[in-house]
Amino acid sequence: MTEQQPAEPPPWMCANCNLPLGLSKVDVGYLGNAFPVDLLKCPNCGLVFIPEDLALGKMADVEKQLEDK
């Protein structure tokens, strides 16, 4: 599964662990289906970063696709 990340990763870091985020494979799920994706994630506590364009773009498209036809 390919995932295009912006050329410059956003400068977010985990506030709690004080660590930079690293790319990691995460399964996001919807209605019983898992969708693997590479997301920026805190290597210590697992907090993830979902960018706005992913939430409002592809995630919304997939939600709609699975909900309705």
Partner 1 sequence: MTTRSRIYEQQAMRDVAGDMIRPGGLALTDHALAYCGLPAGAQVLDVGCGPGASVEHLIAQHHLSALGVDPSALLLRDGRRRTDSLPLVQSLGEHLPFATNSFDAILTECSLSVIKDPDMALTEFRRVLRNNGYLVLSDIYARNPHGVAALRNLNIDSCLSGAMLQDEVTNMVRRHGFVVTLWEDHTEALKVFTARLIWSQESIQQLWRRTLPSCAEASDVQTAIAHSRPGYYVLIAQTAGV
Partner 2 sequence: MLIEIAKGDFTAALRQYKKTVPFPGIISRICDQPCQDVCKRAEAGDAIAIRNLERACVDIGESSSEKSRPLPKRGGKIAVIGGGVSGLTAAYDLARKGYAVTIIEADSRLGGSLWKVDRDFLPAKTIEDDVNAVIKLGVVIRLNTPINQELHDLRRDFNAIYVAIGAHTVERFDLDQDEYGFVKVDAVTFATSMDGVFAGGGLRWGKEMHSAITSISEGRRAAISIDRYLQKVSLTASRINEGTYPSCLYTNMQGIEPHPVIDANDHQQGYEWNEAIQEAKRCLQCECMECVKACEYLKQFERYPKRYVREIYNNLSIVKGTRHANTFINSCSLCGLCGEICPEHLDMASVNLTARREMVEQNRMPPSAFDFALRDMQFSNSDKFELARNRPGTDMSDTVFFPGCQLSASSPDHVESVYAYLNNHLTDSRVGLMLGCCGAPANWAGQSALFESTLAAWRTQLQAMGNPKVILPCSSCYQVFKNHMPGVEIVSLWEIYDQCGLPAFAGTVEPANCAIAIHDPCTTRYETSIQDSVRRIVQRMGYQIEELPLSRERTECCSYGGLMWLSNRELAHKVIQRRVAASQADYVTYCAMCRDFFASHGKRALHLLDLIYNRDTPGVSEIPGASAQTTDERAARRGPGYSQRHENRARLKRKLLKTIWGEEMDGAQAYESIRLIIADEVRVKLEQRLILTEDIQRVIEYAERTGRRLLNQGTGHTLAYFKPTSVTYWVEYLRQADGFAIYNAYSHRMEVPGSGQLS
List interacting residues with partner 1 (CB under 8 A).
1-2, 4, 33, 35, 37, 57-58, 61-62, 65-66, 69
Rounded Cα–Cα distance for residues 44 and 68 (Å): 37
Please name which of 23, 19, 12 lies closest in space to residue 44, comparing C-alpha atoms.
19
Rounded Cα–Cα distance for residues 64 and 25 (Å): 23
Which of partner 1, partner 2, none lies near 12, with the C-beta cut-off 5 to 8 A by kind?
partner 2
Query: Could you tell me the smallest distance in angstroms from the CB atom of residue 9 to partner 1?
Result: 16
Q: Which residues 22-41 are close enough to bind partner 2 by CB under 8 A? A: 26-31, 35
